[in-house]
């Protein structure tokens, strides 16, 4: 029973096609990353999932049912551009958002206090929102997104503008939510984050889906043709016949791409040892998501 | 419905709790009271208390003028009579005038022949004291008229009756009613105009504020745009209603004090029937809601206060139109045009109310006007929410009319 299912949706504004032929599925208990460069249609897709806009064609299904506004009470949405009522008292603001999602005032207040305690912003609760720092406001916004314990959490660029401490805090929170069986979808253009956290991804580019699947499946499609090396001494081994491309990062560190569909890095290592080069790191791995992305998108840019 | 209520409640509380609201709520009645007090003071002052010297070779005439001035000003004026004047009276008076011992003098030279007007010269220390000048002039003209009438052979009693002020006894029932309705319509007009300008625009502002603070995206992922619009119109609207009712209450209390009743003593009496009050409230509320919804649509179209200012006229124009057609409706309430205009939703709050007050209106016309207004409110909010939903997705650009029309088709 998928949490979110988009079937061949299309959305055009005036003359610009924002999303075209997009289909994707998000299973419960997964962390889903929606990737793509700026202006590729991530926000447009998300807005259709939360009922801000309606697709021109295609269907949106939430919790295995055709889209209905009632289902939005089970969705927590954090838009890319954050916004709170500036003149409102923080606690009241959280309670207000909770009530709009069908909570009683008492329950909302209790949860607000728990969350505030956890994110260490209890002091901020009686203040006006505009008196708080930006980081504090971000935390408040997270609480308002999660106050009704949604089964589906949708966050548009949640990590943008966060300092490392708060970024880590958010990451932990999201991982906990996944452990509790919630589905999480977030959009980002930071590939490293996705690689670490996500179970499944979709990459969209110019409104079209160019890659979708679980992290494992996607990686499996690509040969383990990347080698990270850190070495001391002679670098002659880098000119070995299996090496296709070399990226040097200063002296003694390089990233290699090997030739062929089933490359073998063993001869390269043997060559290095034969030349007497000291190897402190030699790691064979799949291409990173970033490389896959560039490879997929790169071809289309030319087209 | 729950969402509309929640949004309305939030808007209401946020506004009512601000210091600005409290200050305005308290300050305006104080200013009203202050204004009334000042006008009382001015009115009192307007009764001249100047020191005037009356000079004439005709003693009877001079004392007549003195007497008249005394009655006119309740003996507030200090008067001296010099009759007849001597050689150095004028230089002496000029000196006193310069030294401000007197405020002015009146020099009456009786005419040689009977049918000629006497020569009158009035010198005043401060030329700006128009009140005194007027008092003197009117007293003088009364005295001279009386004198001339007496010279034509009328008895003093006859002259008195002739000169008695006219007593307008407006006992005519119809007449009185029209005056009251007219006053009622004007009160309604100014109340609506003021409230719409002050608070209707607040609805638009609150929508713009929501756009700039970017709360709308979270809100729209939770509630429908129409719920949001309706909530704002009701919430922000209630703030205006609260304040206006508080002010009106203050006004009632102020005018009810014995002091006021004394000052207004026997002034205009406006009697309004219970039926009129009910219609007043219905039409005021519906009109207010309708115009606030238009304001909401304007807010949905614009991104900043400046742009909003330019669209202000869409609120003012229909009201102004009502004002222009008001005489037509008043003079011919049963005229076809009056009947048509008064059921047009944007005009009914004023025109239909006017018609109801002036003459009997068939119940179905009243019903039609009320139903049409409700439909109009619903339609305007529906359109506003469409514009809003599409408008926010294209921020930064001011839409033109064809674009807005195209937006209506979007979902």
Per-position b or e across A209-230, b if 16+ CB within 10 A of its CB: bbbbeebeebbeeeebbbbebe
Q: Is residue B286 part of a domain?
A: yes
Report the complex ipTM.
0.75
pLDDT recorded at residue B179: 62
Nearest by CB: B14 against A13, A87, A145:
A87
Residue with tokens 């009456």: B108
pLDDT recorded at residue B115: 66
pLDDT digits (tens, 9 = 90+) for A243-292: 788 887 777 888 888 877 777 878 888 888 888 888 888 888 888 887 88
User: How far is the first Cα of chain A from the last one, in angstroms, to the nearest whole number?
Assistant: 37
Measured between alpha carbons, how far is B224 from B286 in angstroms, rounded to an integer? 23
Distance from CA of B217 to the nearest CA of A (A): 7
Measured between alpha carbons, how far is B387 from B371 in angstroms, rounded to an integer? 24
Q: How many domains does chain A have?
A: 2
Contacts of B215 in chain A (CB under 8 A): 83-85
Here the tokens at position B248 are: 């009106």
Kindly determine whether residue A100 and residue B18, on different chains, have CB atoms separated by under 8 Å: no
**Last residue of a domain, which of B129, B163, B197?**
B163
DSSP states of B14-55: HHHTSHHHHHHHHHHHHHHHHHHHHHHHHHHHHS---EEEEE
| Same-domain status, A75 and A128 | yes
Measured between alpha carbons, how far is B223 from A99 in angstroms, rounded to an integer? 11
Q: Is residue A58 part of a domain?
A: yes
Q: Where residue B112 sits, what CATH number does that domain have?
A: 3.40.190.10
| Same-domain status, B31 and B56 | no
Measured between alpha carbons, how far is B374 from B17 in angstroms, rounded to an integer? 30
**Last residue of a domain, which of B138, B163, B188?**
B163
In this prediction, residue B265 has a pLDDT band, given cuts at 50, 70 and 90, of very low
pLDDT recorded at residue B262: 52
Q: How many domains does chain B have?
A: 2
User: How far is the first Cα of chain B from the last one, in angstroms, to the nearest whole number?
Assistant: 21
**What is the helix (H) or strand (E) element at residue A300, kind and residue range?**
helix A289-302
Let me know if B2 is exposed, middle or buried by CB neighbors in 10 A (0-12, 13-18, 19+): exposed
| Same-domain status, A246 and A104 | no
Residue B37: pLDDT over 50: yes
pLDDT recorded at residue B174: 46
Kindly determine whether residue A96 and residue B394, on different chains, have CB atoms separated by under 8 Å: no
pLDDT digits (tens, 9 = 90+) for A119-175: 888 888 888 888 888 888 888 888 999 888 888 899 888 887 778 888 888 888 888
| Same-domain status, B360 and B229 | yes
Choose among A207, A196, A225: nearest CA to A289: A196
Residue with tokens 């008195």: B160
| Same-domain status, A44 and A166 | yes
Q: Where residue A268 sits, what CATH number does that domain have?
A: 3.30.70.100
Q: Is residue A181 part of a domain?
A: yes
| Same-domain status, B181 and B114 | no
Let me know the angle formed at the C-alpha of A201 by A222 and A225, rounded to the nearest 5 degrees: 15
| Same-domain status, B184 and B122 | no
Q: Is residue B71 part of a domain?
A: yes
How many A/B residue pairs have CB atoms within 8 Å? 64
Q: Is the dihedral of CA B343, B344, B350, B354 positive or negative?
A: negative
Q: Is residue A139 part of a domain?
A: yes
| Same-domain status, A271 and A188 | no
pLDDT recorded at residue B173: 46
Measured between alpha carbons, how far is B276 from B242 in angstroms, rounded to an integer? 21
Distance from CA of A122 to the nearest CA of B (A): 22
pLDDT digits (tens, 9 = 90+) for A50-101: 888 888 888 888 888 888 888 888 888 988 877 888 888 899 989 999 998 8
Q: Is residue A292 part of a domain?
A: no
**Last residue of a domain, which of B163, B193, B215?**
B163
> Which residue out of A100, A142, A147, A185 would a mutagenesis test of the B interface target, given it has the greatest number of B Cβ atoms within 10 Å?
A100
| Same-domain status, B184 and B148 | no
Question: Where are the alpha helices (H) located in A120-190, listed in sequence order?
Answer: 134-146, 164-179
Measured between alpha carbons, how far is B203 from B379 in angstroms, rounded to an integer? 17
Kindly determine whether residue A13 and residue B213, on different chains, have CB atoms separated by under 8 Å: no
Q: Is residue B368 part of a domain?
A: yes
Contacts of A85 in chain B (CB under 8 A): 10, 14, 213, 215
Whether A31 contacts A184, CB under 8 Å: yes
Q: Is residue A268 part of a domain?
A: yes
Count Cα atoms within 13 angstroms, Cβ side, for B330: 18
Measured between alpha carbons, how far is A59 from A290 in angstroms, rounded to an integer? 30
Cis peptide before B84 (omega within 30 of 0): yes
| Same-domain status, A50 and A151 | yes
Q: Where residue A87 sits, what CATH number does that domain have?
A: 3.40.50.300
Residue B49: pLDDT over 90: no
Q: Which residues of A touch B (CB under 8 A)?
A: 13-14, 47, 50-54, 69, 72, 75, 77-79, 81-88, 96-97, 99-101, 144-145
Chain A residue with CA closest to B215: the answer is A83
Contacts of B6 in chain A (CB under 8 A): 96, 99-100
| Same-domain status, B340 and B231 | yes
Contacts of B3 in chain A (CB under 8 A): 100
Contacts of A99 in chain B (CB under 8 A): 6
pLDDT, mean of residues B90-94:
84
| Same-domain status, A159 and A21 | yes
> Which residue out of B215, B228, B397 would a mutagenesis test of the A interface target, given it has the greatest number of A Cβ atoms within 10 Å?
B215
Contacts of A97 in chain B (CB under 8 A): 218, 222
Whether B228 contacts B385, CB under 8 Å: yes
| Same-domain status, B152 and B288 | no
Residue A41: pLDDT over 60: yes
Kindly determine whether residue A88 and residue B10, on different chains, have CB atoms separated by under 8 Å: yes
Q: Is residue A295 part of a domain?
A: no
Residue with tokens 């607000």: A112
Here the tokens at position A123 are: 């002091």
Least confident range from A224-238, B106-120, B195-209: namely: B106-120
Q: pTM, whole model, 2 decimals? A: 0.71
Q: Is residue A296 part of a domain?
A: no
Measured between alpha carbons, how far is B111 from B144 in angstroms, rounded to an integer? 12
Kindly determine whether residue B221 and residue A79, on different chains, have CB atoms separated by under 8 Å: yes
Whether B67 contacts B54, CB under 8 Å: no
Kindly determine whether residue A51 and residue B220, on different chains, have CB atoms separated by under 8 Å: yes
Chain A residue with CA closest to B222: the answer is A72
Per-position b or e across A83-109, b if 16+ CB within 10 A of its CB: bbbbebbbbbbbbbbbbbbbbeeebbb
Cβ neighbours for A10, distance < 8 A, ≥ 6 positions apart: A17, A19, A20, A21, A22, A55, A56, A57, A58
| Same-domain status, B316 and B184 | yes
Count Cα atoms within 13 angstroms, Cβ side, for A147: 33
**Structural domain for B295, as ranges:** 2-35+175-409
Let me know the angle formed at the C-alpha of A77 by A174 and B224, rounded to the nearest 5 degrees: 165
- Bridge partners, residue A153, by sequence: A76, A184
| Same-domain status, B123 and B263 | no
Whether A173 contacts A155, CB under 8 Å: no
pLDDT digits (tens, 9 = 90+) for A227-241: 888 888 877 777 777
| Same-domain status, A38 and A177 | yes
CA B265 to chain centre: 20
Phi, psi for residue B336 in degrees, rounded to 5:
-55, -45
**Structural domain for A276, as ranges:** 223-285
Q: Is residue A267 part of a domain?
A: yes
Let me know the angle formed at the C-alpha of A240 by A234 and A246, rounded to the nearest 5 degrees: 80
| Same-domain status, A244 and A135 | no
Kindly determine whether residue B214 and residue A101, on different chains, have CB atoms separated by under 8 Å: no
Q: Is the dihedral of CA B287, B288, B291, B297 positive or negative?
A: negative
Distance from CA of B307 to the nearest CA of A (A): 22
Residue B321: pLDDT over 50: yes
Whether A151 contacts A159, CB under 8 Å: no
| Same-domain status, B201 and B310 | yes
In this prediction, residue B89 has a pLDDT band, given cuts at 50, 70 and 90, of confident
Q: Is residue B319 part of a domain?
A: yes
Kindly determine whether residue B224 and residue A86, on different chains, have CB atoms separated by under 8 Å: no
Choose among B237, B307, B239, B255: nearest CA to B16: B239
Distances (CA, A) of A5 to A9, A23, A67: 10, 7, 10
| Same-domain status, A47 and A141 | yes
Choose among A169, A154, A164: nearest CA to A79: A154
| Same-domain status, A152 and A252 | no
> Which residue out of A43, A55, A73, A79 would a mutagenesis test of the B interface target, given it has the greatest number of B Cβ atoms within 10 Å?
A79
Distance from CA of B290 to the nearest CA of A (A): 26
CA A220 to chain centre: 20
Whether B109 contacts B57, CB under 8 Å: yes
| Same-domain status, A168 and A246 | no
Measured between alpha carbons, how far is B9 from B231 in angstroms, rounded to an integer? 8
Kindly determine whether residue B393 and residue A13, on different chains, have CB atoms separated by under 8 Å: yes
Measured between alpha carbons, how far is B150 from B144 in angstroms, rounded to an integer? 10
Distance from CA of B297 to the nearest CA of A (A): 18
| Same-domain status, A148 and A260 | no
| Same-domain status, B110 and B199 | no
| Same-domain status, B25 and B54 | no
């Amino acid at each position: 029973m998928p949490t979110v299912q988009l079937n061949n949706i299309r959305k055009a504004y005036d003359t610009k096609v924002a999303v075209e032929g997009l289909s994707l599925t998000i299973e419960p208990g997964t962390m889903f990353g929606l990737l793509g460069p700026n202006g590729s249609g991530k926000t447009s897709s998300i807005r259709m999932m939360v009922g801000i806009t309606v697709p021109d064609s295609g269907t949106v299904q939430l919790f295995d049912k055709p889209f209905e506004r009632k289902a939005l009470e089970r969705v927590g949405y954090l838009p890319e551009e954050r916004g709170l009522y500036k003149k409102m008292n923080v606690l009241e603001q959280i309670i207000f958002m909770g009530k709009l999602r069908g909570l009683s005032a008492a329950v909302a207040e209790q949860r607000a206090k728990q969350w505030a305690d956890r994110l260490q912003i209890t002091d901020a609760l009686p203040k006006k929102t505009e008196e708080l720092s930006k980081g504090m406001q971000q935390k408040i916004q997270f609480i308002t997104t999660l106050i009704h314990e949604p089964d589906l959490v949708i966050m548009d660029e949640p990590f943008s503008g966060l300092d490392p401490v708060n970024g880590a805090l958010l990451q932990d929170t999201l991982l906990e939510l996944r452990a509790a069986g919630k589905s999480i979808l977030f959009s980002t253009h930071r590939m490293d984050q996705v690689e670490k956290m996500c179970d499944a991804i979709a990459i969209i580019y110019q409104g079209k889906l160019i890659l979708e699947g679980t992290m494992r499946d996607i990686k499996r499609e690509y040969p383990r043709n990347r080698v990270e090396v850190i070495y001391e001494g002679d670098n002659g081994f880098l000119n070995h016949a299996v090496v296709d491309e070399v990226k040097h990062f200063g002296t003694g560190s390089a990233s290699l791409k090997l030739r062929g569909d089933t490359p073998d890095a063993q001869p390269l290592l043997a060559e290095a040892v034969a030349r007497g080069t000291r190897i402190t790191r030699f790691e064979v791995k799949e291409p990173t998501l970033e490389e896959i992305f560039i490879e997929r998108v790169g071809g289309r840019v030319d087209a | 419905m729950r969402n509309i209520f929640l949004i309305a409640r939030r808007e209401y509380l946020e506004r009512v709790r601000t210091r600005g609201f409290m200050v305005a709520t308290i300050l305006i009645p104080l200013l009203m009271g202050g204004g009334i007090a000042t006008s009382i003071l001015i009115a009192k002052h307007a009764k001249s208390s100047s020191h005037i010297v009356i000079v004439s070779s005709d003693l009877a005439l001079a004392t007549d003028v003195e007497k008249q001035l005394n009655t006119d000003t309740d003996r507030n004026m200090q008067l001296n009579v010099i009759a007849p004047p001597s050689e150095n009276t004028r230089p002496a008076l000029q000196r006193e005038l310069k030294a401000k011992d007197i405020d002015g003098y009146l020099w009456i030279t009786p005419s040689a022949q009977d049918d000629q007007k006497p020569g009158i010269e009035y010198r005043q220390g401060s030329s700006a004291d128009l009140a005194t000048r007027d008092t003197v002039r009117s007293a003088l003209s009364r005295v001279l008229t009386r004198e001339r009438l007496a010279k034509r052979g009328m008895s003093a009693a006859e002259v008195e009756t002739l000169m008695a002020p006219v007593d307008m006894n407006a006992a005519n029932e119809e007449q009185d009613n029209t005056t009251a309705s007219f006053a009622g319509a004007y009160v309604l007009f100014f109340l609506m105009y003021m409230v719409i300008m002050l608070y209707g625009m607040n609805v638009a502002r609150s929508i713009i504020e929501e756009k700039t603070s970017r709360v709308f995206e979270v809100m729209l992922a939770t509630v429908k745009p129409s719920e949001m619009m309706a909530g704002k119109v009701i919430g922000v609207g209630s703030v205006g209603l609260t304040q206006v009712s508080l002010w009106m209450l203050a006004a009632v209390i102020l005018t009810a004090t014995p002091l006021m009743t004394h000052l207004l003593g026997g002034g205009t009496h406006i009697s309004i029937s219970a039926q009129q009050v009910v219609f007043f409230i219905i039409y005021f509320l519906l009109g207010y809601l309708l115009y606030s919804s238009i304001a909401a649509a304007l807010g949905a179209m614009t991104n900043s206060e400046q742009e909003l200012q330019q669209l202000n006229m869409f609120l003012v124009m229909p009201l102004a139109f009502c004002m222009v057609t008001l005489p037509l409706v008043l003079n011919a309430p049963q005229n076809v045009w009056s009947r048509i205009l008064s059921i047009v939703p944007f005009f009914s709050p004023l025109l239909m109310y006017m018609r109801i007050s002036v003459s009997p209106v068939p119940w179905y016309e009243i019903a039609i006007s009320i139903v049409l207004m409700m439909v109009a409110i619903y339609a305007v909010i529906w359109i506003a929410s469409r514009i809003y939903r599409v408008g926010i997705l294209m921020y930064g650009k001011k839409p033109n009319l064809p674009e807005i029309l195209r937006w209506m088709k979007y979902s």
